[in-house]
Amino acid sequence: MADIATYDLNDGTTIPAIGFGTYPLKGEAGTSAIVSALETGYRLIDTAVNYENEFEVGEAIRRSGLPRDEVLVASKIPGRHHAYDDAITSVRESLDRLGLEHTDLHLIHWPNPSQGTYVEAWRALVQLQKDGLVRSIGVSNFTEEHLRRIIDDTGVAPAVNQVELHPRFPQEHMRGVHEQMGIRTEAWSPMGKRRAPLDEDVVTAAARSHDVSPGQVILRWHVQLGSLPIPKSADPQRQAQNLDVFGFELTDAEMSAISGLAEDDGRLFGGDPETHEEM
């Protein structure tokens, strides 16, 4: 397997170019699946308060025997915890469940615009970063307007914005916004789930050309876009396959053809923004 590439973030840290998603892995089976992912080579593990599996993530890291500084753990503040003090408490409670002294990346799970207090949550993350309880801070499911508001308020740009992104929904506008602002694009639902274009001719043709799976083609498409995908799988063979996307390169024509699968429906994200599951 090729070495995992990394991205430089705007706060001077680095992050693997692919991560491991943990929803809905729970219980002993969930812990075992996360241990498998770590043994396979994943070094960025993505969880959230709303996934209700932070304990399993922490336990998997301990069972793996890996040094703490080799594993990056990302978690998320839910929409109900956006008031400043609630956000501080939310992060501290996440650390207790994880059994860790700090997280490596902490996100606001979504802006929860009807409540409208996401700026308070962002101020809390800025302070928690200063206090050393979180290494990098970011957001998820934020629009350009939401991003500009928190940056204007604090002078601090998120390191990442995690949004739904896949070939049928390539988020060209938001990727451009992120590039302008120095924010790394992370992708949840990187395959597209039930809408995954695994059988599309342009994907299967690229898979045959490079002797890889259609899923590997889609994840490689993400990497070449500069997107950081967070695929999910409890199957060890699929976990390894999903991680092995750095030993081949799609052509410009293949990239364009896959991006051409986009469906223009005007969304930022679909389904439940706090579980990253499509309805």
Q: Please choose, from the candidates 90, 86, 13, the residue with its C-alpha nearest in 3D space to the C-alpha of residue 54.
A: 90
Beta strands in 65-217 (DSSP E): 72-77, 103-108, 134-140, 160-164, 184-188
> Given 7, 23, 42, 51, which residue is catalytic?
51
Q: Under DSSP, is residue 250 helix (H, G, I), strand (E, B) or coil?
A: coil
Q: Please answer whether residues 46 and 74 qualify as being in contact, where contact means their C-beta atoms are separated by less than 8 angstroms.
A: yes
First to last CA, the chain: 35
Residue whose token pair is 């695994």: 198
Radius of gyration in angstroms for the set of CA atoms belonging to the chain, rounded to a whole number: 18
Query: Does the annotation count 42 as an active-site position?
Result: no
| Residues assigned a catalytic role | 51
